[in-house]
Structure 1
Amino acid sequence: MGTALAQAVPVILSPVISRIYLPAHLGLAGIFLSLTNIFGPVSNGKYDLAIHLPKKDKDSIQLTMVGICFSAIFCLLLFCIIAIFNVQISSILQSPEMQYWLFFVPASAFFIGCFEMLMQISTRFKKYSHLSRVMVFKSGTLGFFQVGIGYFNNSAAGLILGQVLSVFTASLLLLNTTKKKMFVEYKRITTYNLFQLAKKYSEFPKYAMGSSLFNILSLNALNLLIGILYSPAVLGLYLLTYRVINLPTTVISQSLSKVFLEKAGANKRASEPIKKTFIKTSLRLATISIPLFLILYITIEHVYGFVFGEEWTDSGKYAKILTPLIATKFIVSPLSNILYVYNKQKLMLFWQIGLLFISVSLLVGSSYSNNSFEYFLINYSSLLTLYYLILYAIAFKISIKN
C-alpha cells in the first residue's frame, strides 16, 4: 500500500507541475538533478551496499556511520571544487543560471548519501512498513514543495528546492526510526573501529563506487548531453517522459531490490544456496513487470497528450519507445545486486563502463549524424534491452554457482 501511494503521488502531481513550470524550468532543474543524482548515490562510498554483510548488527550500525562520514568528506571536497570552478562549470553546461544553484549540489548530494545509508540499515532491521511510509512521505513532500513554491514563484526554484528538502526531511524521518540503536552504538564507537570497518569493506569504495558512478552517468550524462546536443525543450520533454514511465522502477522495483539484497546477504551469512531466492524474486518481478508495461505500451502515447496537454504529446512517443527497456530494467536491476553480495564488483564495474560507452556513443553519433531524437531513442532502447538481458544471464550464473 505504501509503495503504491508513493508511486501515485508524483503521477498525480505531474499534470499540475507540467502546467506550472515552463520547459526551460524543467531543463534547468534537470541539469541540477543530474548533477545531484551523479554525486549523491556515490558520496557514501557505496558502503550502503555492505550494510547487510556483517554478522553483528553493531558492525552494520558502525558501518552506517562510516558511510555518513565518507559522504561528509566527499561533499566538502565537492563544495570546494564548485567554489573554485563555478564559472567554468556553468560555461561547460551552457547554462549561466546554474552558477547560483551549483552551490546547492554538495548539500543535496550529502542528504542523498545519508538517506541511502539509513535506508539500508532500516532494511537490515526489517523496518519494511516504515520504509514504505518514508517513501510516501518523501514523494508527498517533494510534490508539496514543488507545487507550493512554483505557485508563488514561477521559476526553477520550486523544482530544485523541492528535491533538496524532500530528501532532507525523509532522512530525518529514517534517523528517527533507528536513533535508539544508533545512539547506543555511538557511545561505543572509536576511531580505530571505524577505520577497521572502512578498511575491511574497502572493496566498495574502490570498485562498487566506480561501478555505480558509471551506471548513474549512463543515465544522467545523457540528460546533460541532450540539453547541449539537442535543445532544452527536448530535454524537458524527455525528463517528463522518464519521470513518469520510470516510476514503477524507482518505487516498486527498488523496494524489492532492498528486500532481495537483505535476503541474499542472509543466505550468504548462513552459507545457504541463493538460487531459489533468485528465481523466486525473478518470477515476482516478471509477474509485475510484464502486464504493467504491456498496458503502458499500448496506451501511453495517447494518454500523455490528454493528461499533460498537447505540447507534451512527443513525450508520449518517447515513453512508448522506452517501455521495453524500462520493463527489462525493472526485472534485472534488483537481481544484479547479487554481484555485490558475492564480491563481483570488478565485473559489475566493467559492465557499467560498457553501458556508459554505449549510451553516450549512441547519443553523440545520432546528434552528429543529424538524426532525430526519436531515431536515437529507438536504437538506445533496443540495444540497452539486450545489454540488460546479458546482465541477467551473468547474475543467474552466479546464483547457480553459489
Structure 2
Amino acid sequence: MFNKIKLLTQSKFARNVAVVVTGTAGAQAIAMVFSPVITRIYGPETFGAMGTFIAIFEMISPLAALSYPMAMVLPKQDSDAIGLAKISIWIAVITSLITAMVLILFKTPVVEAFNLHAIEPYILLLPITMLFSVLVTISSQWTIRKRLFKLKAKTAILQALIISLMKAGLGLLNPSAIILIGTTSFGYLLQAALIGIGIREKDKEDKPSTHSSFQVTGLLKQYKDFAYYRTPQIFLNSVGQSLPILMLANLFSPAAVGFYVLARTVLFVPSSLIGTSVAEVFYPKFVETIRNGESGKKLLVKASATLAAIGSVPYLVLIAFGPWLFALIFGAEWKEAGEFSRWMSIWLFVVLATRPIIAAIPALSLQGLFLVFEAIAVLIRIFAILIGYLWTGTALGAVMAFSLSNVIIYAALTIIIVRKA
C-alpha cells in the first residue's frame, strides 16, 4: 500500500491533477464561503433572472467560435494551435456581432417567444459575454496544451475572489439582477486577462521556439469536425441542460428557477472540483496514448471509476441531508432548493463519473456519433420534464424526471464510448 501511494505521488499525471484540483478547490471554496452572504442579499427571484440569462448564454455560446478552440490541444506544432486561436477569435467577433444585430432588430419577438421579460433590460450583454467566453476557452486550452496547470490554478482562485467580492459588495448597494448578471459577464473577461498575463510572462521565461506560419484554410479543413459535429453537439447538450431553467420559468415562477440555479451551483462543485481537473489533465494524456497507437480503454475506465468512487461521498451526503443543509447554510427560504438537490445529486454524480468519457470523444474521432446521440438525448430530456410536470404538477416533479433521464443518458453514453475505445 505504501509503495502504491509513493508511486502515485511521484506520478506526473497525479501531480498535475493535484495542482488543478487545488486551484479549482480554492476557487470553489471562495465561492461557497461567499454564497451564504450572497443568498441573503439576493432573493430567489433575482437568482432566477440570473439563471435565465445563463441558460440562454449557455445555449448560444457553443456557436461563438464553432468549437475550434477545443482543437488547440491536438496539433503537434504550436504555430497551428496559435492559428486555431486566431481563427477562433475572428469567428467569435463575427458571431457576436450577428447575435447583437439579431437581438437589436428582433428583441421583442425573442423576449416574447422565450418569456425572457426578467432579463430584457440586460439581453444585449449576451453577445458581449459570448465573446468573453471564447477568450477564456482559448487561454484555457493553451494552458492545457502547455501544461501550465499552476497558472490555471492561481488565476482561478484570484478570479473567484474578485468576482465574489464584487457580487457581495455591489449587492449591498443595489441587490438587483444587473449586478449578478454583469459580474458574471465580467468574470469571463477577467479570467481571460489573468491567464493571458500569466502566459505572456511564461513565454518570456521559456523563449518558445518558432514555427512556420499557419494556413487558415488548411486548419479550417483539418479540424472541420469540431465545427460540423462538436458545435451542434455542444449546442444540443446546452439546450438539454438549460431546458429545466427555461421550462421552469414558463411553467412555474422565477423563484422555482432560483431554487434550481442555487442547487445546480452547489452540486456542480464536486464535478468542477474533481471532474474538470481530472478531465483537463486526462485529455492531453489520452490524446498522446491514442497518437502512439495504444488502446485508451484501460485509462478511460480507470479514470471514470476513480471519479465515481470519490464523488459518491459528497453526493450521498446531499441526498440524505440536502433540505436541512440548504436551509442552514443559505437561509430558510432556500429549503426547497435542498429538495431539488436530492434528485439532482443522482444525475450530477453520473456527470462527474463520465467526465473522462466526454473528454475522450474528440481523440477517438466520434464527433458524428456524439452529435446523433445528443440529438436523441435532448428529446428524452424534453419528454422527461413534461412527464414530470404533468404527473405531479410541481417543479420538484419536473426536476426529478429530468434528473433520472440524465442518469439513463449518461449511462448509455459510457457504454458506447468505452466499447469504441
What is the TM-score of this pair, normalised by structure 1?
A: 0.93
* 1:95-140 Cα distance to aligned partner (Å, 9 max, x none): 4353321111001011112211211111110011111122222322
Partner of residue 334 from structure 1, selected from 345, 348, 356: 356
Partner of residue 338 from structure 2, selected from 310, 316, 324: 316
Residue 258 (structure 1) aligned with residue 296 (structure 2): no
Residue 221 (structure 1) aligned with residue 243 (structure 2): yes
Deviation at 1:42, TM superposition (A): 3.8
Query: Which residue of structure 2 lines up, in the alignment, with residue 71 of structure 1?
Result: 92
Deviation at 1:7, TM superposition (A): 1.6
Query: Aligned in 2, Cα 1:356/1:141: closer, same or farther, shift over 3 Å?
Result: farther
Kept in 1, the 8 Å contact 2:249–2:256? The answer is yes
Kept in 2, the 8 Å contact 1:53–1:269? The answer is no
Query: Aligned in 2, Cα 1:180/1:302: closer, same or farther, shift over 3 Å?
Result: closer
Partner of residue 238 from structure 1, selected from 235, 260, 274: 260
Query: Which residue of structure 1 lines up, in the alignment, with residue 374 of structure 2?
Result: 352
Kept in 2, the 8 Å contact 1:42–1:113? The answer is no
The one-letter code matched in structure 2 to 1:293 is Y
- Regions of 4+ moved over 4 Å: 180-185, 187-190
Measured on the aligned residues, the alpha-carbon RMSD in Å equals 2.2
Q: Distance in 2 between matches of 1:256 and 1:128?
A: 11
Residue 378 (structure 1) aligned with residue 390 (structure 2): no
Query: Which residue of structure 1 lines up, in the alignment, with residue 19 of structure 2?
Result: none
Q: Secondary structure at the match of 1:126?
A: coil
Query: Which residue of structure 2 lines up, in the alignment, with residue 165 of structure 1?
Result: 186
Query: Which residue of structure 2 lines up, in the alignment, with residue 396 of structure 1?
Result: 418
The one-letter code matched in structure 1 to 2:79 is K
Gaps of 5+ in 2: 1-21
Equivalent positions of 1:100-179 (< 5 A) are 100-179=121-200
Deviation at 1:182, TM superposition (A): 8.2
Deviation at 1:316, TM superposition (A): 0.7
Deviation at 1:23, TM superposition (A): 2.0
Query: Which residue of structure 1 lines up, in the alignment, with residue 8 of structure 2?
Result: none
Partner of residue 65 from structure 2, selected from 32, 44, 48: 44
Partner of residue 47 from structure 2, selected from 13, 21, 26: 26
Q: How many residue pairs get matched?
A: 398
- Mean Cα deviation higher: 370-379 or 222-231: 370-379
Q: Secondary structure at the match of 1:247?
A: helix
Residue 286 (structure 1) aligned with residue 308 (structure 2): yes
Query: Which residue of structure 1 lines up, in the alignment, with residue 218 of structure 2?
Result: 196
Q: Secondary structure at the match of 1:260?
A: helix
Kept in 1, the 8 Å contact 2:262–2:337? The answer is yes
Residue 81 (structure 1) aligned with residue 102 (structure 2): yes
- Mean Cα deviation higher: 273-282 or 232-241: 273-282
Q: Distance in 2 between matches of 1:119 and 1:15?
A: 29
Query: Aligned in 2, Cα 1:390/1:340: closer, same or farther, shift over 3 Å?
Result: same
Partner of residue 301 from structure 1, selected from 323, 338, 341: 323
The one-letter code matched in structure 2 to 1:126 is R
Query: Aligned in 2, Cα 1:101/1:189: closer, same or farther, shift over 3 Å?
Result: farther
* 1:55-77 Cα distance to aligned partner (Å, 9 max, x none): 11221122122222221111111
Q: Secondary structure at the match of 1:342?
A: coil
The one-letter code matched in structure 2 to 1:142 is I
Q: Distance in 2 between matches of 1:304 and 1:385?
A: 23
Residue 3 (structure 1) aligned with residue 24 (structure 2): yes
Q: Distance in 1 between matches of 2:83 and 2:375?
A: 31
Q: Distance in 2 between matches of 1:161 and 1:197?
A: 35
Residue 211 (structure 1) aligned with residue 233 (structure 2): yes
